[in-house]
């Protein structure tokens, strides 16, 4: 398991590095003619296909009944498997963002109603509870559904799952807790270190420090995301 985890993390690091290089190339294209616009459109489609192939390959590589390279390439050849999970997560993101914006607009009315009915002015707990409920729907629920759907797609194709048992298994506390744990520990926390630098760092050392820090952050996030993808497979293996 450790060797496969290291291999999948290496795949994710390399794949995302190439994706970023392609994205940088897109930013350099001057949209000054129809040919340049066509090139921008082609690069944009390549970015979507590349991101999907990286994710589908990383997920399929957890099919341990196959050799690593065979499983990885099977996933790379099915980039479409990552599209529906991405759409599902995107819709959940949009819905939760809509809820947050709607709540911001009625927050004052909620405060007034609560104070009028209870005579208490401490309303912050209501807003905090609502925020974390929305975040739960966005991250633990959204991520777990997406990676479980991706795992099912790379393992069994794009057949529509009509059984509610799969969703119930994916939403079992042990599954979404595992997804949340690895995502927070090895993806969200390292991401917060991207802008961090120690005080007193000399100008000469700063490029070396930044390079080492970003490398460690990239590796940690790749390992974390690989573990999240593994949890998705564990959820689909026990429908």
pLDDT tens digit sequence for 127-184: 999 999 999 999 999 999 999 999 988 987 655 454 555 677 788 899 999 999 999 9
Residue 97 sits in which domain range? 2-236
Asked if 164 and 170 count as a contact pair (C-beta separation under 8 A), the reply is: no
Full DSSP string of 176-210: HHHHHHHHIIIIIHHHHTTT---TT--TTTHHHHH
**Which pLDDT belongs to residue 160?**
46
pLDDT of 190 higher than 60: yes
pLDDT tens digit sequence for 197-235: 888 888 889 999 999 999 999 999 999 999 999 999 887
pLDDT tens digit sequence for 88-122: 999 999 999 999 999 999 999 999 999 999 999 99
**Which pLDDT belongs to residue 233?**
86
Tokens for 82? 């990552």
**Which pLDDT belongs to residue 49?**
96
Domain count, the chain: 1
Count CB neighbours of 205 within 10 A.
11
Asked if 158 and 81 count as a contact pair (C-beta separation under 8 A), the reply is: yes
- How high is the mean pLDDT of the chain? 91
Q: Which of 48-52, 165-169, 189-193, 208-212 comes out lowest in average pLDDT?
A: 165-169
Count CB neighbours of 78 within 10 A.
21
Q: What angle do CA 168, 72, 239 make, to 5 degrees?
A: 15
Which of 93, 231, 221 shows the shortest CA–CA distance to 150? 231
**Which pLDDT belongs to residue 162?**
46
Helices (H), 29-158: 34-60, 68-76, 83-118, 124-136, 142-156
Asked if 8 and 61 count as a contact pair (C-beta separation under 8 A), the reply is: yes
**Which pLDDT belongs to residue 199?**
85
pLDDT of 2 higher than 50: yes
Asked if 74 and 63 count as a contact pair (C-beta separation under 8 A), the reply is: yes
pTM of the model: 0.92
Coil, strand or helix at 9: helix
Residue tagged 């991207």 (tokens): 194
Residue tagged 């975040």 (tokens): 135
Q: How far apart are CA 147 and CA 5, in angstroms?
A: 16
């Amino acid at each position: 398991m450790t060797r496969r985890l290291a291999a999948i993390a290496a795949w994710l690091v390399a794949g995302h590095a190439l994706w970023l290089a392609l994205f940088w190339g897109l930013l350099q294209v001057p949209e000054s003619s129809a040919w340049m616009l066509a090139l921008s459109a082609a690069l944009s489609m390549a970015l979507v296909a590349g991101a999907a192939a990286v994710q589908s390959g990383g997920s399929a590589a957890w099919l341990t009944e196959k050799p690593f390279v065979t499983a990885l390439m099977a996933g790379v050849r099915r980039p479409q498997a990552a599209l529906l999970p991405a759409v599902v997560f995107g819709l959940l993101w949009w819905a939760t963002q809509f809820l947050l914006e709607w709540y911001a607009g009625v927050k004052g009315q909620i405060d007034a109603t609560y104070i009028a009915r209870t005579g208490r002015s401490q309303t912050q707990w209501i807003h905090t509870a609502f925020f974390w409920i929305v975040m739960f729907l966005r991250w633990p629920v959204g991520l777990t559904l997406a990676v479980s759907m991706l795992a099912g797609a790379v393992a069994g194709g794009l057949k529509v799952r009509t059984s509610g048992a799969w969703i119930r298994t994916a939403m079992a506390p042990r599954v979404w807790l595992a997804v949340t744990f690895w995502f927070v520990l090895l993806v969200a926390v390292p991401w917060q270190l991207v802008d961090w630098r120690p005080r007193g760092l000399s100008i000469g050392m700063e490029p070396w420090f930044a390079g080492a820090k970003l490398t460690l952050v990239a590796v940690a996030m790749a390992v974390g995301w690989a573990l999240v993808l593994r949890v998705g497979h564990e959820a689909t293996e026990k429908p």
